[in-house]
Amino acid sequence: MPDSGPDPRVADLGFARLDVDRAARTGDPEVVYGAGKTPEQLVTILRTLHERHPDRAVLATRLSEEALATVPEALPEAVVDRVARAVTLGPLPAARGTVAILSAGTSDAPVAAEAALTIRVHGAGVDRIDDVGVAGLHRLLGVRDRLASADCLVVVAGMEGALPSVVGGLSGVPLVAVPTSVGYGASFGGVAALLGMLNSCAPGVTVVNIDNGYGAGVFAARVARNAAPRPDAS
């Protein structure tokens, strides 16, 4: 049976065939989704990608407790973010543009942290604004100038997911909403927040999957980078 031959855009590690061409197609760094992978597999993948691109950071997300403990032992130069449950290897890029990340409550911290690290790895800067849930509006109204000075907003909330609607009414900056699985009973693991955000009465709110801080971060970094003046344009 004919085979299509080895593909230079793929790194075959035996247990996985890495797409190492994404940077060429999309301009983004390499990212490893850690769920379901053993610490050994993660170390191999991170090392392989780092060797191919030693000048830019590789990101691994959704690490297990075991992987968070093991990976830095095998790769001492790796940097661990315990709240985001993620690891980076290699130098972070300079930041172009700023993404403001708003979160509603303390329980939303892991998703906000994953978004923040993803944004930094993808080349934009971050302004964190935490604990500004809609049941205490004074906290949100006190940061309106920080909203206005951002190039993109990432708004993280669980429960009823109302925060993006309120923020979207205060600002015209592009806004990505991230529903989290925080809640109980009829929150259905984040579905209530997801539906709330999809039905926002504020126009121009877009949404990613439940707990998907990574996806929101990739998108927001792209928007912020493009909105910032090019360094070589000055």
DSSP 180-191: -----GGGGGGH
Binder of its own copies out of 55, 94, 229, 232 (CB under 8 A): 229
231 is a site residue for its own copies (CB under 8 A): no
Provide the token pair at 64. Answer: 């297990």
Binding part of the chain for its own copies, among 48-56, 64-72, 88-96, 165-173 by CB under 8 A, reads 165-173
The count of residues interacting with its own copies (CB under 8 A) is 102
Binding to its own copies by CB under 8 A, coded x per residue (else -) over 28-47, reads x--x---xxx----------
76, 94, 184, 232: which one binds its own copies (CB under 8 A): 184
- Token pair for 181: 């699985």
Sign of CA dihedral 135, 141, 142, 147: positive
Residue 41 · residue 16 · CB < 8 Å: yes
* Amino acid identity for residue 185 in this structure: G
Interface with its own copies, residue 92, by CB under 8 A: no
- Only one of the segments 49-57, 63-71, 84-92, 176-184 lies at the binding site for its own copies (rule: CB under 8 A); that segment is 176-184
CB neighbour class for 119 (10 Å; exposed up to 12, middle 13-18, buried from 19): buried
Q: Is 48 or 181 the residue whose CB approaches its own copies more closely?
A: 181
Of these, 51, 201, 231, 232, which contacts its own copies (CB under 8 A)? 201
Least Å from the CB of residue 226 to its own copies: 4
All residues at 6 or more sequence positions from 30 whose CB lies less than 8 Å from its CB, including other chains: 18, 20, 22, 23, 49, 53, 58, 59
Which one of residues 46, 71, 113, 193 is an interface residue with its own copies (CB under 8 A)?
193
Rg for the chain, CA atoms, rounded = 19
Question: How many whole angstroms separate alpha carbon 152 and alpha carbon 147?
Answer: 9
**In the complex, least distance from residue 76 CB atom to its own copies, rounded to whole angstroms:** 27
Site membership for its own copies, residue 59 (CB under 8 A): no
In the complex, what is the shortest distance from the CB of residue 161 to its own copies, in angstroms, rounded to a whole number?
A: 7
Told to check if 88 binds its own copies by CB under 8 A, we report no
